[in-house]
Amino acid sequence: MTPLKLIALDDDDLKVLSAHVQDAVGREADMAYIPTEQRFAVIVNRFDWSGLQKPGNGGAYERRRSAVRFDKVRKVQVQNVNPGGERVMALLAIRFEPSEPPSGFVTLIFAGDAAIRLDVECIEVELRDLGAAWSTKNLPQHPDDAETAQ
């Protein structure tokens, strides 16, 4: 598969980008806020959900090393996140809450009641794959998946 590069400039774009990083995993140490550049970035290993559509993949799934960059960031708040820490966190979703247009708050929601809230001038986000995919036999599971299947 060709490396993915997505740009989000509004809430609809961000929803698409969020779907591509659902169940991505990354270390706290791989997240950084650079106030002088008004930028927040995170490096993750994202699960390639689009690969589930490929026939004949032999039951193997793929992950890719990816960067997610947020620009026009004025402030960062964290909940249950230790910047610079070694804990591996699972990214569940990225959401936008508007305030005075076009500004608002972008929230990265992680498993374990952790979150990072970005105060942004506007939505300006890029997702970019950094290299080749690798195989994994593990399909991300969610606690309510079993309930939904019944």
Domain of 85?
5-149
10 — phi, psi (to 5°)? -150, 175
The stretch 66-70 carries a mean pLDDT of 99
pTM: 0.89
Q: What is the pLDDT of residues 99-149, one digit of tens each?
A: 999 999 999 999 999 999 999 999 999 999 999 999 988 888 876 644 444
Domain count, the chain: 1
For residue 146, the surrounding DSSP H or E stretch is helix 145-149
